[in-house]
Amino acid sequence: PATIHRQDYRPPAYWVHSVDLHFALHPTETVVRARLGLRRNGGPAPLELDGEALTLLDASIDGVAVEPARLQHLPGGGLRIDDLPAECVLETRVRISPEANTELSGLYLSGGNYFTQCEAEGFRRITYFPDRPDVMSRYTVTIEADRASCPVLLSNGNPAGHGELPGGRHWAKWEDPHPKPSYLFALVAGDLVAVRDRFTTQSGREVALAIYVRDGDQDACGHAMDSLKASMRWDEEEYGLEYDLDVFNIAAVSDFNMGAMENKGLNVFNTKYILARPETATDGDYEGIETVVAHEYFHNWTGNRVTCRDWFQLSLKEGLTVFRDQHFSEAMGSAAVKRLANVRRLRAAQFPEDAGPMAHPVRPDSYVEINNFYTATVYQKGSEVVRMMRALIGPEAFRRGMDLYIQRHDNQAVTIEDFVAAMQDASGTDLSRFARWYAQAGTPELHVTEDFDAASGRYTLSLAQRTPPTPGQPHKQPVPIPVAMGLLGAGGGALPLRLRGENAADAPAERVLLLEEARQDFVFEGLPERPTPSLLRGFSAPVKLSGLGQDSLGLLAAHDSDPFVAWESGQQYATAAMLRMVAQGGEPVLGEGLAAIAAAALDRADSDPAFAAEAFALPSESFVADQMPVADPEAIHAVRQSLRRQLGIRFAPRLAELHDRLADPGPYRIDGPSIGRRALRNAALSVLSMAPGGDGLRRARAQYAAGGNMTDVLAALRVLVDSDDPARLDALADFHARWRHDPLVLDKWFTLQATSSRPDTLATVQVLALHPDFDIRNPNRVRALVGAFAAGNPAQFHAASGEGYRFLAEMVIALDPVNAQVAARVVSPLTDWKRQAEPRAAIMRAELERILARPGLSKGTFEKVSKGLA
């Protein structure tokens, strides 16, 4: 397969100013007529249209049928036409089969209803088109279908008419006044019901809101609708950005490759990010819905009105929009805890990616399959880069920069340089060095050394940075790293921050140092005692920090005023302790330092239970593994489990007391304090149940039996499923019987078993892959079983036998011809062999080779596996 390079970008030979589509829907023989208003862009050149899995019926130019010989079929399925006039209307008719579309890209069927997914390159599976984001067109869409099976007919923009047709068919027409790239096209048709609401914009425009779901799910849309309205309000208040159509529609579908899609005026969502009832959705699900609904809504301006010139610029819309949704979610709940959770996710997904075979810059330089670049780097690291930019220039200048960006580029397809230029022009700050964050892959390592001269009260903080080499980028340059910081005295209080040459009077308690060179010294004066540095407050830069000793970390964990640093220092302390235990072997011992950190966390049970839950948790097994040049998954698992058991014994009375006291006082509520309380209560239960002879398992059985909200039910079942308790099998059977008709809940049943710490998990997973409820065509189900096992259960996936690797390879081989996008996604854990010891590494390579040898392997899986082997 060919590699596409960013430097090879050329503007299109033709613009398509208008698109008039007509769909005659049929499960196996849908006919799509497309009328494209073409205008040449520059001198004479052939027109090239993308196309994939299309059957061409006929074509005409300005109403005159085209001789078949004039249509040159291109290797990938596209069409080429020479000698077109500078301006003309090209009409094509194609036939497609939604039913045969298991890739879920283009137009497909799910549960008998029609849905589309066009980002990144799905529109070419609907009609011949220059399927690239810099071609922006005005769309008119007419959909015709059987009225009984397809009462609902939706597309982008505003409704523009509907009517009856003979033979029980009907039609509806949609007009989108805003020019858009083809990846934002959407069509939804079928037997769906709408949950409706209204929103009045700040300028008084009335918007009709609707969420389309399957009949029976109407009662599960409230949280999504509330989140939508809150997002619409927030974008007006924070950015002055108002919605720009008469309707905003969302349709939910249970077969979906991604989380959701921001199609103009018609968002399509994975049901996972819409449907929630207290008895079926966890607190995490509710939070996910709020975030994803906001994310897709925010794309209306950052992505849709201003879009990407080419797919290398993906982070232009994704990094910025993740930043916007995180900022929104922080404002809706407890900002500090949301920040911790986002940093935890960044480090769980993005740091390993940045250190692995697929490492790429936030703006990649090349790709084989663009779907492989919808990554944590483009999304989460891209968001961190925007966050740093805002911190550097300040919130007011950032807002002016956003205004300028949108004013300059509304209805354009632009690049990351255009975004940075707007921020630079609005702030007057030179951002040319900062832009290296977009170009350089790898996670910078920030190392700190200190020197204190007691006689003069002078403290020198030396910060050094280094970014390790990544594939294709052997040498790195320093990047500007904003380090938000403070200094603590031995008692934990803040010390004044007076840099050499500054006035004593202005010394602040917190400031941001900017490390621009490979190494810089920052000299503070007038310190009455040796300080402890609190660095990267709020995680001010996406880097790895090292150089602080356990004493400093312990002090920061106990006393720092910045919740991020307090949490982070506890995590780093625990990580260092666990790494030492892994290296030493023998029976792990819960030291006094670790116990003190746990106790300090529990002390915050009343003031901030959500924080307490985060701070009480030990770092994940994968996080610890990521700190080792060669990981030892089984040893890490053993150490972590042993420490959890010791915590359970040591804190048993307190954990039991918390479990009693933090029970929901009344009916389920989805607000920050309630979520935090449940999180801490269930964390207490989980650790308590590790203690031999304690009553944790009894509590878990009772909590499961009590039913109630899914957060508590699942937490109780989690404990049972990890245990040897005989009740676990009954509970699993009960859960299955109860929820077998709710796919999203059944996904949880699969995931719970796939991520169990029990030693027989792999065998269970192999059996579950043959379960009648396992469906390889449903991406959620594949992620729930195969993805969860391979990416979320390191100790079992890396079992020394290599059976975990063989299982994943088998699944990838079976999945690739069905849905290549999902196959290429779940294969990732197998490519991490460089960080495993032999013989594991050799087995992983052999499994990758086996996948690579498959005839007809998709280019996406090919890219991941071949890069993984390199």
Burial of 517 (0-12, 13-18, 19+ CB in 10 A): exposed
C-alpha 328/C-alpha 332 separation (Å) is 6
How many whole angstroms separate alpha carbon 175 and alpha carbon 140? 5
Extract the tokens encoding 335: 């900002």
CA distance 747 to 784: 5
Output the smallest distance, CB 156 to Zn ion, in A: 17
Q: What residue type is assigned to position 441 of the chain?
A: A
- Could you tell me the smallest distance in angstroms from the CB atom of residue 259 to Zn ion? 8
Q: In whole angstroms, what is the distance from residue 97 CA to residue 105 CA?
A: 12
- Kindly state whether residue 825 participates in binding ligand DPP, applying the rule CB under 6 A: no
Residue 713 has a CB neighbour count (10 Å cut-off) of 24
Question: CA geometry: angle at 206 spanning 202 and 210, to 5°?
Answer: 115
Q: Which is nearer to ligand DPP, 36 or 261 (CB)?
A: 261
Q: Is 119 in the site for ligand DPP (CB under 6 A)?
A: yes
CB 124 within 8 A of CB 131: yes
Q: What does the longest C-alpha to C-alpha distance in the chain come to?
A: 95
259 binds ligand DPP (CB under 6 A): yes
308 versus 582: smaller Cβ distance to ligand DPP: 308
- Least Cβ distance, residue 320 to Zn ion (angstroms): 9
| Rounded least distance, CB 290 to ligand DPP, Å | 14
Measured from the CB of residue 257, what is the shortest distance to ligand DPP in angstroms?
8
313-332 residues near Zn ion, rule: CB under 5 A: 318, 321
Q: For the CB of residue 201, give the shortest distance to Zn ion in the complex, in Å.
A: 22
Q: Is 245 in the site for ligand DPP (CB under 6 A)?
A: no
Residue 354 interacts with, from ligand DPP, Zn ion, none (CB under 5-8 Å by kind): none
- Give the closest residue to 66 by CA, choosing from 122, 128, 15: 128
Query: Residue length, the chain?
Result: 870
- Choose between 272 and 295: whose C-beta lies nearer to ligand DPP: 295
The site partner of 363 among ligand DPP, Zn ion, none (C-beta below 5 to 8 Å per kind) is none
> Of all residues in this chain, which one has the CB nearest to ligand DPP in the complex?
258
CB 547 within 8 A of CB 538: no
Contact in structure between 430 and 404 (CB atoms under 8 Å): no
At closest approach, how far in Å is the CB of 318 from ligand DPP?
6
Residue 708 near which of Zn ion, ligand DPP, none (CB within 5-8 Å, type-dependent): none
Q: Which helix (H) or strand (E) holds 316?
A: helix 314-332
Q: Answer yes or no whether residue 545 interacts with ligand DPP by CB under 6 A.
A: no
Nearer to ligand DPP (CB atom), residue 136 or residue 548? 136
Residue 381 in the binding site for ligand DPP (CB under 6 A): no
The one catalytic residue among 52, 91, 290, 296 = 296
Q: Which of residues 306-335 bind ligand DPP (CB under 6 A)?
A: 318
Q: Are 146 and 168 in contact (CB under 8 A)?
A: yes
Among ligand DPP, Zn ion, none, partner that 340 touches (CB below 5 to 8 angstroms by kind): none
Q: Which two tokens stand for residue 764?
A: 């269970």
Rounded to whole angstroms, how far apart are CA atoms 689 and 33? 62
- Between β-strands 481-488 and 458-466, what pairing exists: parallel, antiparallel or unpaired? unpaired
Amino acid at position 361, single letter: P
Select the binding partner of residue 261 from Zn ion, ligand DPP, none (C-beta < 5 to 8 A, by kind).
ligand DPP
Residue written as tokens 């801490």? 680
In the complex with ligand DPP, the residue whose CB is nearer, 261 or 515, is 261
Residue 27 binds which entry of ligand DPP, Zn ion, none, CB below 5-8 Å type-dependent: none
Q: Which stretch binds ligand DPP (CB under 6 A): 192-200, 257-265, 556-564, 768-776?
A: 257-265
The answer to whether residue 261 forms part of the interface with ligand DPP (CB under 6 A) is: yes
DSSP code for 220: G
Q: Given the complex with ligand DPP, which of 261 and 320 has the nearer CB atom?
A: 261
- Collect all residues with Cβ–Cβ distance below 8 Å to 653 and sequence separation of at least 6: none
Query: Which of these ranges, 310-318, 468-476, 507-515, 837-845, lies near Zn ion under the rule CB under 5 A?
Result: 310-318
Does 792 sit near ligand DPP (CB under 6 A)? no
Contact 188, 114 (CB under 8 A): yes
What torsion, rounded to 10 degrees, do the Cα atoms 467, 518, 448, 526 define?
-160
Distance CA 169, CA 162 (A): 11
- Give me the least distance between CB of 325 and ligand DPP, in Å please: 9
Question: How many other CB atoms sit within 10 Å of the CB of residue 220?
Answer: 21
Tell whether residue 262 is a contact of ligand DPP (CB under 6 A). yes
Distance CA 178, CA 184 (A): 11
Q: Is residue 296 annotated as part of the catalytic site, yes or no?
A: yes
Question: 228-261: b or e for each residue (b if 16 or more CB lie within 10 Å)?
Answer: bbbbbebbeebbebbbbbebbbbbbbbbbbbebb
Q: C-beta of 317: minimal distance to ligand DPP in Å?
A: 7
Pick 291 or 467: Cβ nearer ligand DPP: 291
DSSP 428: T
Residue 310 vs 608, nearer CB to ligand DPP? 310
* CB nearer to ligand DPP: pick between 141 and 261: 261
For residue 258, state whether it binds ligand DPP (rule: CB under 6 A): yes
CA distances in angstroms from 509 to 471, 496, 528, listed in the order given: 41, 5, 14
Would you count residue 614 as binding ligand DPP (CB under 6 A)? no
Applying CB under 6 A, the span of 128-136, 189-197, 253-261, 392-400 interacting with ligand DPP comes to: 253-261
- Which does residue 119 bind out of Zn ion, ligand DPP, none, counting CB within 5 to 8 angstroms by kind? ligand DPP
Q: From residue 268 to residue 297, what is the string marking binding to ligand DPP with x (rule CB under 6 A)? A: ---------------------------xx-
Contact 498, 525 (CB under 8 A): yes
Q: Smaller CB distance to ligand DPP: residue 270 or 424? A: 270
Supply the minimum distance, in Å, between the C-beta of residue 247 and ligand DPP: 20
Out of ligand DPP, Zn ion, none, which partner does residue 131 contact, by CB within 5 to 8 A per kind?
A: none
Instruction: State both tokens at 83.
Output: 């000698």
Residues that bind Zn ion (CB under 5 A): 318, 321
Residues that bind ligand DPP (CB under 6 A): 119, 258-262, 295-296, 299, 318
Catalytically active residues, by annotation: 296
